[in-house]
Amino acid sequence: MDIANHLSHAASLATHSGERVRATVTAAKAGKAAATDLLAAATRGDLIASTEALRRGIGAAAGVDLSLLPAEHAAKIGRGLRVLSTAEATVSRGIEAARSAGLLGEAAVTVIGPALTDFSGTLASAKQVAMAMPAAARSAMRGDFATVTDGITGKPTTAPVVNSLAAPMMPVAPAASSSRSHLLVLTTESTGEKFFFGLSTAAYDSLRRTTNFNVAAQERLQRQEALQAVNKGGETISISGAIYTKTDAGARQLDTLRRIGALQSPLQLTTGYGDALGRWYLVQIEEEQGSITTDGAPLKQQFTLEFKRYGDDYANR
């Protein structure tokens, strides 16, 4: 359905905006003028494109009998609106942080602010359209609507909310780039290709995230060793699971991930509840095949993927 597809596209762009704002604030606080300007302009472009996609979704809704909306489409629209609300809050918080980052931060706010205001107003209109849906369709969104204060205008507005382990009773929900719920979304920066980790692709049953802080030790004679913080270290995400090849997932999911890894390009990772994890490299894929058939094909593929945090460098050029 066009409405859901437009909201999905808008949600993807808005989530990217939130990640860019974080990077913009980091660059501004480090005094990197060129990087701040570049990132602020890119954020503005994402917000404008997301707003246009939102308006297309509103336009598509005008020609649809919402009382006949299938439950699966209503659910997808709900996920899209929740992700958009989360992204809006992320950008708003980033703008507040940028204001405290000196002249560079203020300049970035001047670029991003108007685009966010336009985005927020359009999102409020989209929420009002969703509220016009019959109760049965709204219930399919798997979340209730609540009255909240708009971060830009300060006026009351409606927003869909959903329970989440990440932030109970906060408007956080699955990213809306797919009509099915999923665990994690991988997006390549070089090609824009997406890979959805879920029951229909590669479902994982465990995720381990390790954050290192490098502290060097200097041995001292007859005294305790001296410690010194050297750098922020790195970060690693490892996910493990199994693919059963006779299900919808098929046997080629790991081949797709190998092809993505071979691009050696930074990847955006976004959780199923809409939290942008930032930029990462896929550095290792481990596969163990089991339940082998007579022609050598596996019925089960156990896998472990390892991602390492991409160390952003916002140096002036």
Tens digit of each residue's pLDDT (9 = 90 or more) over 213-228? 888 888 888 888 988 8
Predicted pLDDT of residue 106: 92
Whether 306 has a pLDDT exceeding 90, the answer reads yes
More confident residue, 232 or 314: 232
Domain with CATH 2.40.30.200 in the chain: 196-309
Q: What is the pLDDT of residues 39-48, one digit of tens each?
A: 999 999 999 9
Total-model pTM: 0.49
More confident residue, 288 or 139: 288
Spatial distance between the Cα atoms of 248 and 288, rounded to a whole number of angstroms: 19
3-class SS of residue 236: strand
196-309 is classed in which CATH architecture? Beta Barrel (2.40)
Predicted pLDDT of residue 260: 92
Annotate 126-162 with DSSP letters as a single string.
HHHHHHTS-HHHHHTTTSEEEEEE-TTT--EEEEEEB
Conformation bin of residue 54: beta by default, left when phi > 0, alpha when psi is -120 to 50: alpha
- Identity of the amino acid at 301: Q
**Mean pLDDT rounded to a whole number for the chain:** 79
Q: What is the pLDDT of residues 74-132, one digit of tens each?
A: 777 777 888 888 888 889 888 988 988 889 999 999 999 999 999 988 888 888 777 76
Q: What is the pLDDT of residues 170-208, one digit of tens each?
A: 333 333 344 446 788 888 887 778 888 887 788 888 899
**At 7, is the pLDDT very low, low, confident or very high (cuts 50, 70, 90)?**
confident
Predicted pLDDT of residue 309: 92
